[in-house]
Amino acid sequence: MTASNSPSYYDRLVAQDFDQAYKKGFIRTIIKHLSQKRHGLVSFADLRKQLAIRGQRDRGMQEIEIEKIIGSLNRYQDFDDSFLPIQTHTRGRWENIDRVYMQGEYLPPVEVYQIGEFYFVIDGNHRISVAREKGQKYIDAHVIELEIPFELQGEFDWHNVLLKQERQDFYEQTGLREIRPNVEINLSLLGQYDKLLDHISVHRYYTGEFLQREVDFSEAVGSWYDHIYAPMIEIIQKYHILEHFPKRTEADLYLWIIEHLAFLKSTHKKEITFEEAARHFRQSRMNLRIQQIFREIKKFLGKTE
């Protein structure tokens, strides 16, 4: 037996490979932690709790893109988001897979769940880690697709995932897309769709009081959209208010202006129109921005004196 074929030869190589991968994972974890960026794999269990899974289908054997594998069922704490090992207890299994890889022997396909464009490992975390470290772009996988009621693509972001689920829940609870087809209500902050539901409930109550009859929920939803939400959006567009809030949406401004309207009514003890509230909200925000600019100028001048 030659030295190049001896077990110790492969032992040294796989140990070096693991040490290198572990060091890279350690450094990346520190850098991402300091920059407050996500550095770990997504826990499938945590994601599963948040999503309304509609069903599943077996898509059989496929060649999938390794970069699209972003999470794991039970190994999400052992690897970073590039599948570099970040726990030393993975060494033995990792090195065994690496040895098989070096010797050109058969490795079975991994098993994954697919949600949208992304994959979550059921079995095969170490195989994926080694393959990715070796520069492999694709890997054979047995894919089980889980169906959700919205698209999940682009860069994975927990905030956007939760926001999309909240939006879908709102549409389903209100039936808004059936009542007013092609309507889109997009909020940028979590927990705000419940406020819209509260607005609809209040509108339903007062509409029933005015009409002296029971108003069913579907009727209240349509009435709220036609007589409260849509007119406010028209005012927001008329006065170009969204231009002052580039990271927000018209629905965000709707909620803020409605709250501002309630504040004005309680302060001035009189009826305030939507348009008056929107204009006052816009002006007050502009004044606040001007005050902030003046403070920055004063701070700058103070440093230069």
Q: What is the CATH number of the domain that holds 64?
A: 3.90.1530.10
Domain-terminating residue out of 88, 122, 147: 147
Q: What is the pLDDT of residue 191?
A: 94
**Domain boundary residue, one of 147, 169, 199:** 147
Residue 40 and residue 122 in one domain: yes
Residue 282 has what pLDDT? 66
When pLDDT is cut at 50, 70 and 90, the band that residue 215 belongs to is very high
232 — pLDDT class (breaks 50, 70, 90): confident
239: which residues sit within 8 A by CB, 6+ positions away?
A: 278, 279, 282
pLDDT interval class at 66 (50, 70, 90): very high
Lowest mean pLDDT among 153-167, 242-256, 283-297: 283-297
Question: Same domain, yes or no, for 162 and 267?
Answer: yes
- The boundaries of the domain holding residue 226 are 158-299
Residues 265 and 215 in one domain: yes
Taking residues 207-213, report their average pLDDT.
Answer: 94
122 and 170: one domain?
Answer: no
- Distances from the Cα of 283 to the Cα of 5, 67, 160, 268, 280, angstroms: 79, 47, 31, 17, 5
d(CA 218, CA 224): 10
Give the least confident one: 143-157, 195-209, 256-270.
256-270
pLDDT in tens, 156-199: 999 999 999 999 999 999 999 999 999 999 999 999 999 999 99
- Say how many domains are in the chain: 2
Same domain, 77 and 110: yes
pTM recorded for the entire structure: 0.78
* Residue ending a domain, choose from 125, 147, 169: 147
Within a domain: 86 = yes
Residue 304 in domain: no
Q: What digits encode the pLDDT tens for the residues 26-55? A: 898 888 777 666 678 999 999 999 999 999
